[in-house]
Amino acid sequence: MSVQEYLDKHMLSRKIEDAVNAAVRAKTPDPVLFISSHMKKAVPSVITKVKARQILDSRGIPTVEVDLFTNKGMFRASVPSGDSTGMYEAVELRDGDKGTYLGNAVTKAVKNINEKISEALVGMDPTVQLQIDQAMIDLDKTEKKSELGANAILAVSIAACKAGAAEKEDITILPTGASRFDEALQMGSETYHHLKAVIAEKYGTNGCNVGEDGGFTPNISSVREGLDIVKEAIGRTGYNDRIKIGMDVAATDFCIGTKYDLEFKSPNKSGQNFKSGEDMIQMYKELCSEYPIASIEDPFDKEDWEHSKRFCSLGLCQVVGDDLLMSNPKRMERAMHDSACNCLLLKVGSDKSDWNSDRSY
């Protein structure tokens, strides 16, 4: 294959030209870094590797843990296991050797992931959850998933769900008007189910697929579109002003040089939707005036201290630092000194724990 044939096959000439044009428009002082970052973000995420192992759960019983790799990161999940299983439920695959973990080892399920499931999923888009799950179902022809093991399939499905969620934006609701925890829980649950109905009406049932932590991942085209459907769901509950909205912008993911590419997830980029830090501040001001936004997480790149500080000083909402702080004491000290955020994300557990969670303070 000639160089030109290779370029044509992968459409590299067009992609490189788009990256160079974007660098010129952004007036970046470091075009090589800009173009490299642009090209990396322009590549669609695909599953590159699936690797499983046996671990022990919180009750000391073997279970399956999976690391699912994409060209943009690694995503880990492990399978919980209940004390009882109904006769019609899909079955876990365990080794049955009473001499090892009393027959509860899962090395067969692990082998199925590493040799069969991995081969079937490599190259797939992690955001197409239904297709990923269907590929594993098709691989195991049994009714109760006894060939591959429900534990093998579920572990991979959860890891893929996390990988897919990493490609989506995250909007949350905050039941700030609740006077008790049980009331807040009820408000959140009712809004969640109303949101599911709104999404099903607008995008069909496929739009109700969930990502990490159970959040819906409809195919929205803009942040306002996402906020509109959440606002409509809140309106249907009747809680209205008692529920606020929180946004995890994760701006580092679409910051290129000193500009923010708001079309970084769009397959049909116009190359015209770059925003400066000042533009982003103006956009957040408009969003906060149009929607009941009470919290924005990482509104700017992790190194964009100046705009984080300026936005936080406006007092429009809670400004959460996650990527900005990275649980690093020195960065936290700087953020406190500069007033670059007024809230931090405290990660209580480690990535290897089934109890990993984020808490904002």
Active site members:
213, 347
Name 298's Cβ contacts closer than 8 Å, sequence gap at least 6. 248, 249, 250, 251, 252, 320, 321, 322, 323, 324
Give, for 89, the enclosing helix (H) or strand (E).
none
Containing H/E element for 138? helix 129-139
Q: Position of tokens 């001001």?
A: 285
In 3D space, the residue among 203, 318, 319, 313 whose CA is nearest the CA of residue 251 turns out to be: 319
Three-state secondary-structure class, residue 167: coil
- Residue-level length of the chain: 361
- Count CB neighbours of 197 within 10 A: 13
Distance CA 261, CA 318 (A): 24
Residue 317 is classified by DSSP as S
CA distances from 232 to 74, 191, 352 (A): 34, 10, 37
Amino acid identity at 72:
K
CA atoms in the 13 A half-sphere facing the CB of 180:
3
Contact assessment for residue 344 and residue 320, using Cβ atoms and an 8 Å cutoff: yes
Three-state SS for 64?
Answer: strand
The distance of Cα 229 from the centroid of its chain, to the nearest Å, equals 19
